[in-house]
Amino acid sequence: MAMSSSKPARKGKKLKNNRLGYAMLVPATLLISLISLYPLLNGIYLSMFDYNLMRPKKRRFVGAGNFIEILTKDSEFYSTLAYSFIYAFFVVLISYIMGLCFALLLNREIKGRGIFRMLILIPWVIPSVVAATNWMWLLNDQLGFINRTLTGMGLIGKPILFLAEATTARVTVIFTGAWKSFPFMMITLLAGLQGISKDLYESAQMDGAGFFRSFYYITMPMLKPVTTISTVLMFIWTFNNFENIYLLTRGGPVDATFVLPILSYYTAFLRSNIGYASAIASIMLVVLMILAMLYMKLLKNRETYS
């Protein structure tokens, strides 16, 4: 998301031919309204219906019925909601820690920085289907590299069932999720680090501050704006993400790794219950809107800063 708000040099010096401006917005607006906005509003509309694809003729309006059922009767929804939050929270936390460590390492002036940076970006660019297949192979009970190595070294007696046991699967998908998204964190934090003036560190050093003190008193406060924005943004993306978990566990074992997008997907395309699935997704929308508002507020604060 490139967003540049600082253009004081050209203040008030914008082009006047607004008709051309409107015309240039037309193609994008057309597509967005037809394929994003209309389906979105339609989804909210459908959430008020009892609508099953198996018997489309029997569609009937139930108002808030679906929502009441989800919020009062559906225990599957609440367990899924809880895990969705846990999943997104830990993915963001682990990505942040990993991203910060890498960014600090790469912020040192060493040769071959570009190559290291590229190697770190690999998890982020490879297609999620490929990532999931690779993890399935590495984490395989009998043949996987990790289990074979660990048993070979005598560290574990029997193979770890990474994806077949409820608790381990929940932890595993958090780690693979963080693995896929931490490069983004690293890049943004690295850019943030590079924006910190070297003079600050030098004067701190002269005052006798060691690495940890200057990290705590200079690096962390200076990174705060980048940190807040990129963590909120990544939380939203992770909360919305369907593929990372689905491709690895399909939401299983049983439904241990269900998150809201998977629950809504299954409700719609397996149980064909379009209305109920839309209601689940609408509740997600509310959660995300709150987060999005937080994000916008953080962005605004930044703008007034600079």
Residue 230 tokens, joined:
């990129």
Residue 240 burial by CB count (10 A; 0-12/13-18/19+): exposed, middle or buried? Answer: middle
Per CB under 8 A, contacts with other proteins among 169-208 are 179, 184, 187-188, 190-192, 195
Selected from 48, 81, 163, 281, the binder of other proteins by CB under 8 A is: 281
Rounded CA gap, 122 and 116, in Å?
A: 10
- Decide if residue 22 touches other proteins (CB under 8 A): yes
- Decide if residue 250 touches other proteins (CB under 8 A): no
- Decide if residue 27 touches other proteins (CB under 8 A): yes
Selected from 97, 126, 156, 220, the binder of other proteins by CB under 8 A is: 126
- Decide if residue 92 touches other proteins (CB under 8 A): no
Question: Considering the complex, what minimum distance in angstroms separates the CB of residue 158 from other proteins?
Answer: 16
Tokens 């820690």 belong to which residue? 97
For residues 162 and 168, is the Cβ–Cβ distance under 8 A? yes
Cβ nearer to other proteins, comparing 169 with 241? 241
Tokens 């008193």 belong to which residue? 217
Which range binds other proteins by CB under 8 A, 62-70, 80-88, 155-163, 221-229? Answer: 221-229
Question: Considering the complex, what minimum distance in angstroms separates the CB of residue 63 from other proteins?
Answer: 18
Cβ nearer to other proteins, comparing 121 with 161? 121
- Decide if residue 230 touches other proteins (CB under 8 A): yes
**Closest-CA residue to 263 (of 253, 247, 277):** 277
**Closest-CA residue to 291 (of 84, 20, 5, 152):** 84
- Decide if residue 291 touches other proteins (CB under 8 A): yes
**Closest-CA residue to 230 (of 283, 170, 302):** 302
Cβ nearer to other proteins, comparing 137 with 217? 137
- Decide if residue 114 touches other proteins (CB under 8 A): yes
